[in-house]
A and B are shown apart, each in its own frame.
Chain A
């Protein structure tokens, strides 16, 4: 901020007094490389207008200069890039909503190199007439291969902001709320509703997008209960803040109203404080609110009128002019022409006049309106031109003249000669469009009301009420009364106690109103296609002529018109233009607006940053990481980790200077020659108890369980209904009615759900209970010829004799002083014990084993060596060697299928399907490369004839492939068509790099085929 001018700084459009701004707090900000000053309480828009900045952007298609048009969320033009550093860039910020803070840096999002000198405007001006609706579709469609080139240019020329390239420095979070009554919008109706509901004691939340509650009351001249409106607002807010049952959220946009009254509210917690949130505070928060009843008090957006060159900077909404004058003490110009179809439009002329600036004329499109405002205009001696309209604005980069002409009664044509009024601001009001957006999010379609010339919320099956402007109500007293009624009614729905005293309505004196005129497109002396551009949607440069052309080209559905012209796209989603557009389309097609209907309103009401959507679920918290009780040891011993589901499993334990293959060779050889240890805690473990536990197992596993005695374990295969292998694992009989099932690490949750599903829906009569004990047990597998000797050193109360404690037995006892279950099962083919101890003892027992295992050089191995070791023994991994299309028969596990069980089992019927019984299915086999040094890539496709021309007949693929130090060669498994019958035959694997690897089909067991090791 080097070019700060000390002392009083003149903001030429700022009034010397008034407004809801803090003049003691001067803020400096930068807009497009120039420094300006504003006050606390300003938005960027009000500060820019105060400084006389006219052009805030260039339009999307024609690159026309654009100025600030509104003062709120509906702003189509003043869309800025905000952020002083790369990391804090925020695109598409509405200048009308962004509070000013000291040091704010912002710039226009489109327009290159500068808004006031734009090379694109040349194309816009010359090419403008050629860029009709559907221009991009028509021009850039062909040839198709050029699209990528076109796209780059289009994006650069017309981009709306850019994402930051650096990591966001701020954090975000979410918060859940459950309330009885949720009120959206804190204008007169919303505040009244909140107060009425809150006084009954029900849980109330009220949210409003602006920094201050009050809505239009903040710039209103009326009084409520003899208080100025702003004081009434303050009083209500004060009362609400004193109530425990009320949550009042400012700066919080309700962006979505989803099914069952679930609302998403985006609170901008620190946007008013600076570029970056203060330490410890999240920048934005999404409140996820579940409400019994929702009251929509979202108000209405003023519709600007559509006339020639109505996009010139200086053309504004009437209500925005009032808001800038009264709320921000900013008069956006020197001389004003007002055009209005209704009484509300007069107020801005009065406000403008009352601060001593020139009102050139009020142009009322109605010929014979009779209402209080007309008398007030006369009282102020403001020129009133009735039955006329501003048909065109003129000026270079800014309004300098308004062309006014008389029009006929329904506004369809110009009746008189245009005359010129000199002015720099044209405010227009075409009436009010209720902000029905939220009411439509759950599928309700809005309803057109001719009497208020707007769409109001339609029928809904949700508990949603509307009050005030959104319901089409246009007088203050009625808004307040509706608010009170809705608040009372909503509270009554939620509480059983009837409300003793209904809140009485404050006293508001309404003025006499004359009906508004239905006018959207102001007529011109020329047809729309020949007149100066009459803009409907400023952000997407959609003109009245464009809409007419679209309908002539056959786009008659409003949804098609939207997509063809881009009307209603963009960050503002057509908040100001859509109804005008629909009216123009309706007129062109000779139908009513009700028949034309609206496009679909979808969440979000305003753009939401990705940060807010992600909340705290980022970085390390993106997905839970699960750790075993021995994790710390693994980290200390240099393990690299592999993600298995959410678990972090040691992958391998490299030592200094080892390659991965070196490590695997060492781990695998150590295990087969002495003893290795694996952390198997992640295996799914399900405790099964009940009189029918055994019967249940027989139904979910393919093999038999009737005769497994306590103390014994059995391998089981689980299939889906389709007969395809789903999971496998060892289940042990703990007692007659008590079993422990193990599942794959990744399949644990699914298998438990599966068991519960079948128990609860198919066989509820079976007496059986399932309890996950995965986390309860720390599981460590010691494997290798020395495992018995090692176990003996830490366990003296189990008879480890090979005949007393056989392969597939389990025993309970103590290991390292800890109660343990020891299972003599093996996934390596070695003599092996799986030691299970309660998790809180896991690290102790693990360390005790290492302490005692020194003499055997006990070696920790990870999942990768586990894979190699099990593949050496031909053990499959469900999910790696199977893929949901493999039956137990295909897997060569016919031995694990018992078809003589008295009750059927899941998958039995599926396996009998014709396709499962046909020959030539892919079957699991071993694959022995002719060259023992070559390791087949997993996933490589097999062909029988390597000479066949492409496309070759593929007969299977490799599922597991490793180099085995124990076998001294590569080993692999795969699925090959008819493989079980083709042992000894060759298959070929043509690779992408041009090599073809030959391998012979064989059985899957490479080490100890007779199982002598595991039984030793």
Chain B
């Protein structure tokens, strides 16, 4: 089980030094599907490769809300994480220097709402920096890192699994790389992003993760499901 730094709080002035405790005070982090032991599942399956599934480690997630102060949020993001506010239904990715992996991704969620993802240990720091950069502007930032499970679905039949699961038009013509939608996933809600061709990110509420995982297993049965722990 991964251990990540403790760094979650909502308001900077409440920060206090963390005391050192014994063993029980070394926090242990659990993703929503930790109990499934996907690594073990991965070794059991693997016969088919039509669909590949993984749950990402705990990912830092910040909800950003702004209406009239949109420009202020835009510039705060630019200076803090060097990322611009995306257009409607789009996402923007920024890569940290020296790394090829996207570190920050911001998704348009609603006319006044965005979701920023980042490494979990950076969430508090980014929130703090955004707040100080925003000054007195009325922008809401909510750390919801614990509230979601970030799942990845890929493979040549990943799109078919989506077609079984969501009413949204996920045809590549309509759902192109970088696009983000909030939609239904079976009877749950999902924030769905097309990461690259045949690769999708599903951000689901943590409490629904088991349901979504179960659903994906059923929906991908005919294509062959392989599981990886990324």
Footprint of B on A, CB under 8 Å?
171, 173-178, 203, 280-282, 288, 290, 616-617, 620-621, 623-629, 631-632, 647, 687, 689-691, 734-735, 737-738, 767, 769, 771-778, 794, 796-797, 812-814, 816-819, 821, 837-844, 847-848, 851-852
> In the bound complex, do residue B188 and residue A817 qualify as a contact, i.e. CB atoms below 8 Å apart?
no
- A333 to B82 CA separation, bound complex (whole angstroms): 82
- Given the known interface contacts A282-B222, A624-B187, A627-B210, the answer about A691 and B138 at a Cβ–Cβ threshold of 8 Å is yes
CB contact between A689 and one of B17, B142, B171 (< 8 Å): that residue: B142
- A280 to B32 CA separation, bound complex (whole angstroms): 27
- A280 to B157 CA separation, bound complex (whole angstroms): 15
Contact bitstring B210-221, A, C-beta under 8 A = 1, else 0: 110011001101
The 5 residue pairs across chains A and B that have the minimum distance between CB atoms = A817-B25, A838-B146, A776-B147, A839-B146, A178-B169
Q: Which of B179-228 contact A (CB under 8 A)?
A: 186-188, 205-208, 210-211, 214-215, 218-219, 221-222
CB contact between A817 and one of B11, B18, B164 (< 8 Å): that residue: B18
> In the bound complex, do residue A841 and residue B171 qualify as a contact, i.e. CB atoms below 8 Å apart?
no
Tell me the smallest distance from the CB of A549 to a CB of chain B, in Å: 50
Q: Is the CB of B70 closer than 8 A to any CB of chain A? A: no
- A392 to B207 CA separation, bound complex (whole angstroms): 70
> In the bound complex, do residue A841 and residue B146 qualify as a contact, i.e. CB atoms below 8 Å apart?
yes
Tell me the smallest distance from the CB of A645 to a CB of chain B, in Å: 10
Q: Is the CB of B95 closer than 8 A to any CB of chain A? A: no
Contact bitstring B154-174, A, C-beta under 8 A = 1, else 0: 000000100110111101011
The contact sample of 26 A-B pairs, CB cut-off 8 A, is A175-B163, A203-B173, A280-B221, A280-B222, A621-B215, A625-B211, A626-B211, A629-B32, A687-B142, A689-B140, A738-B11, A772-B147, A773-B142, A774-B147, A775-B144, A775-B146, A775-B205, A776-B143, A776-B144, A794-B21, A816-B21, A816-B25, A819-B8, A819-B9, A842-B146, A851-B24
Most buried by B among A626, A631, A767: A626
Please name all residues of chain A whose beta carbon is closer than 8 Å to the beta carbon of B7 when the two chains form the complex: 819
CB contact between B140 and one of A626, A769, A842 (< 8 Å): that residue: A769
CB contact between B188 and one of A624, A769, A838, A840 (< 8 Å): that residue: A624
Q: Is the CB of B73 closer than 8 A to any CB of chain A? A: no
- Given the known interface contacts A617-B186, A840-B146, the answer about A814 and B207 at a Cβ–Cβ threshold of 8 Å is no
> In the bound complex, do residue A813 and residue B27 qualify as a contact, i.e. CB atoms below 8 Å apart?
no
Q: Besides A178-B171, A290-B169, 14 other CB < 8 A contacts?
A: A175-B160, A175-B164, A280-B222, A628-B207, A689-B141, A773-B144, A776-B145, A776-B146, A776-B206, A817-B21, A838-B143, A840-B29, A848-B25, A852-B24
> In the bound complex, do residue B147 and residue A839 qualify as a contact, i.e. CB atoms below 8 Å apart?
yes
Most buried by A among B7, B10, B166: B10
> In the bound complex, do residue B140 and residue A616 qualify as a contact, i.e. CB atoms below 8 Å apart?
no
Q: Is the CB of B6 closer than 8 A to any CB of chain A? A: yes
- Given the known interface contacts A621-B214, A769-B140, the answer about A626 and B207 at a Cβ–Cβ threshold of 8 Å is yes
> In the bound complex, do residue B35 and residue A632 qualify as a contact, i.e. CB atoms below 8 Å apart?
yes
- A818 to B58 CA separation, bound complex (whole angstroms): 15
- A282 to B223 CA separation, bound complex (whole angstroms): 12
Most buried by A among B8, B27, B29, B145: B27
> In the bound complex, do residue A818 and residue B208 qualify as a contact, i.e. CB atoms below 8 Å apart?
no
Please name all residues of chain A whose beta carbon is closer than 8 Å to the beta carbon of B97 when the two chains form the complex: none
- Given the known interface contacts A617-B186, A738-B10, the answer about A796 and B19 at a Cβ–Cβ threshold of 8 Å is yes
Tell me the smallest distance from the CB of A290 to a CB of chain B, in Å: 8
- A281 to B166 CA separation, bound complex (whole angstroms): 20
Please name all residues of chain A whose beta carbon is closer than 8 Å to the beta carbon of B218 when the two chains form the complex: 171, 173, 616, 621
> In the bound complex, do residue B148 and residue A775 qualify as a contact, i.e. CB atoms below 8 Å apart?
yes
Contact bitstring B74-109, A, C-beta under 8 A = 1, else 0: 000000000000000000000000000000000000
Please name all residues of chain B whose beta carbon is closer than 8 Å to the beta carbon of A814 when the two chains form the complex: 6, 18-19
> In the bound complex, do residue A771 and residue B29 qualify as a contact, i.e. CB atoms below 8 Å apart?
no
Please name all residues of chain A whose beta carbon is closer than 8 Å to the beta carbon of B71 when the two chains form the complex: none
**Nearest CB in chain A to that of B16: its residue:** A797
**Nearest CB in chain A to that of B67: its residue:** A767
Please name all residues of chain B whose beta carbon is closer than 8 Å to the beta carbon of A769 when the two chains form the complex: 65, 112, 140
> In the bound complex, do residue B171 and residue A203 qualify as a contact, i.e. CB atoms below 8 Å apart?
yes
Please name all residues of chain B whose beta carbon is closer than 8 Å to the beta carbon of A817 when the two chains form the complex: 6, 18, 21, 24-27
Tell me the smallest distance from the CB of A616 to a CB of chain B, in Å: 5
Please name all residues of chain A whose beta carbon is closer than 8 Å to the beta carbon of B11 when the two chains form the complex: 734-735, 738
Please name all residues of chain B whose beta carbon is closer than 8 Å to the beta carbon of A797 when the two chains form the complex: 16-19
Q: Which of B124-139 contact A (CB under 8 A)?
A: 138
CB contact between B29 and one of A816, A841, A848 (< 8 Å): that residue: A841
Tell me the smallest distance from the CB of B213 to a CB of chain A, in Å: 11
> In the bound complex, do residue B16 and residue A813 qualify as a contact, i.e. CB atoms below 8 Å apart?
yes
Tell me the smallest distance from the CB of A732 to a CB of chain B, in Å: 11
Tell me the smallest distance from the CB of A735 to a CB of chain B, in Å: 5
Please name all residues of chain B whose beta carbon is closer than 8 Å to the beta carbon of A617 when the two chains form the complex: 186-187
Most buried by B among A281, A620, A769: A769
Q: Is the CB of B152 closer than 8 A to any CB of chain A? A: no
- A586 to B188 CA separation, bound complex (whole angstroms): 53
- A840 to B35 CA separation, bound complex (whole angstroms): 12
